[in-house]
Amino acid sequence: MGNAKELIDSGKAVMGLEFGSTRIKAVLIGEDYAPIASGAHDWENRFEDGVWTYSLEDIHEGIRDCYRDLLRDVKEQYGTTIRSLAAVGISGMMHGYLPFDKDGKLLVPFRTWRNTITGEAAAALTKEFSFNIPQRWSIAHLYQAILNKEPHVKDIAHFTTLAGYIHWKLTGEKVLGVGEASGMFPIDDATGTFDAGMIKRFDELIAPQGFPWKLEEILPKVLNAGEKAGSLTAEGAAFLDPSGNLSAGIPFCPPEGDAGTGMAATNSVAKRTGNVSAGTSFFAMVVLEKPLQKVHEELDIVATPDGAPVAMAHCNNGTTDLNGWVNLFGEFAKASGHPMDAGELYGLLYNKALEGKKNCGGLLAYNYNAGEAITGLNAGRPLFVRTPDAEFSLANFMRSHLYASLSTLKIGCDILFKEEGVQVDKLYGHGGFFKTKGVGQSMLAAAMNAPVAVMKTAGEGGPWGMALLAAYMINGSGADLGSFLSDKVFGGESGDVMNPDPADVKGFDEYIEAYKKTLPAEAAASAFEL
């Protein structure tokens, strides 16, 4: 405790701050890279005028409240406050669309990754580039706005992501880390920046519109992990900490996306490694040894924070529906006079799922609160269905909902592993899905038919990963990011590894075949307004 206080007082602590979909969280780490304090702010997206969004007020108040909560934790634990830091890193939900004019005014409300409103643009750009452009990507949002003839497009001076916006707000620098940038527009592996040939084709595609800008002029500058990305300005310090205690001049590393911070937090930036982030949304990242043989609309090609190509299977829907069912059982427990806290409730229900049939005994669930590009649905409705003769038990019910959380991810990853023959030595799991020991981990191992490791630090997640990237900027000493993480941060730790059970793999394969055949029912439900 004394060492941590001295570290904070001397301005040597490092902060990572991440905008997740339901929580903004800040983590402070010490010289051994372990967390010493944290702060958080809960928030939710809104569905307004057909768009999933967060307002600028939500964003601004969210980061300030998160930082205030961090200050409270520092005060309670160490009796001091933060006046300076060794380094800071900002991360956030990848993709989305935040366009600004020359005066820094946001031209339309923030369009987040969750929207499935750019199908026409994504399909056209995928064909134009011979490279998969998912609906979530920033360039798909921009091109869809052009196709829609939205009047704001002509006034764009620059556009960016949520992490890029906050970084700009605090430092004045319009930059992105390469991992985050790879979710805006394709990256050229050889140059480590946006693909110049594709930029040229895009400019030619929109030339008839006569806009006063070229694409390269409105994109952020791309930086690699370890590079300096500006410093906290006086205005940025006053914005983040209105008390005036925080000093300007703190160095910032390149802002990254939640995919990149997940890779850092799980030590999975090297080839043949991968990680699965499992929370409100699910995504798998596998670092590639060589390019894929063909373009797959189910898979994104993005980058690690140090620029290596990564195949990504992204699912808009994660544990939201599963959490809803757990909460319903919690209501029942309370009504019965036997209330249970969340940890006990989740532990009971998740472990009950291990007793279920390997193929869930004729029960199926779809966790679609929103659309899913992998299965071709632009909208979603959570749906539970069973055959009349199904074994309708609590164990099978819970197992079906755990499987549902992974099913779309499995469909995408089956293309990667079975069709493309991509090899992975180990997948690292992180996120709330893995908090109940051994349950989510065994389900993921079955879905992927690959060993799954969960580290003790898995619960720290993206903010901690972002702090590690900030620490790498000041402590990397010329080492590559993979070596820095393996040697200095993780020290050879491989986590608790669970190999796939062949019976579980077989059961999940049977479940997913039934899941695919019943997708038309989900499609019909998604088109129905209650």
Domain identity same for 366 and 394? yes
pLDDT of residue 119: 92
CATH code of the domain containing 292: 3.30.420.40
CA distance 327 to 345: 9
pLDDT of residue 439: 95
Domain identity same for 450 and 312? yes
Residue 266 near residue 428 (C-beta atoms within 8 A):
yes
Domain identity same for 445 and 507? no
Domain identity same for 508 and 400? yes
Sign of the alpha-carbon dihedral angle for 386, 390, 395, 400: negative
- 111: in domain: no
- 483: in domain: yes
- 121: in domain: no
Domain identity same for 429 and 471? yes
Domain identity same for 383 and 311? no
Helical packing angle, 138-147 and 119-129, nearest 10°: 110
Domain identity same for 516 and 384? yes
- 455: in domain: yes
330's tokens? 């919690």
- 161: in domain: no
- 340: in domain: yes
Task: Count CB neighbours of 102 within 10 A.
Answer: 9
Could you tell me the pTM of the whole model?
0.85
* Cα separation of the two ends of the chain: 55
pLDDT of residue 114: 86
Domain identity same for 439 and 493? yes
Domain count for the chain = 2
Per-residue pLDDT reduced to its tens digit, 435-451: 899 999 999 999 999 99
Per-residue pLDDT reduced to its tens digit, 276-318: 988 888 889 999 999 899 999 889 999 999 999 999 998 989 9
Helical packing angle, 342-353 and 394-414, nearest 10°: 80
82's tokens? 């933060």
The identity of residue 530, as a single letter, is: L
Domain identity same for 508 and 364? yes
Residue 1 has pLDDT above 60, yes or no: no
CA distance 513 to 516: 5
- 476: in domain: yes
Per-residue pLDDT reduced to its tens digit, 214-226: 999 999 999 999 9
φ/ψ of 221, rounded to 5, equals -75, 140
**Enclosing domain of residue 443:** 258-316+412-498
Domain identity same for 452 and 485? yes
CA 460, chain centre distance (Å): 14
Domain identity same for 338 and 453? no
φ/ψ of 460, rounded to 5, equals -70, -40
Buried b (16+ CB within 10 A) or exposed e, 163-180: bbbbbbbbbebbbbbbbb
Buried b (16+ CB within 10 A) or exposed e, 113-128: bbbbbbeebbebbbee
Q: CB neighbours of 346 closer than 8 A, spacing ≥ 6?
A: 326, 435, 436
- 166: in domain: no
Residue 459 has pLDDT above 60, yes or no: no
Work out whether strand 23-29 and strand 87-92 pair parallel, antiparallel, or are unpaired. unpaired
Domain identity same for 484 and 341? no
Rg (CA), the chain: 23
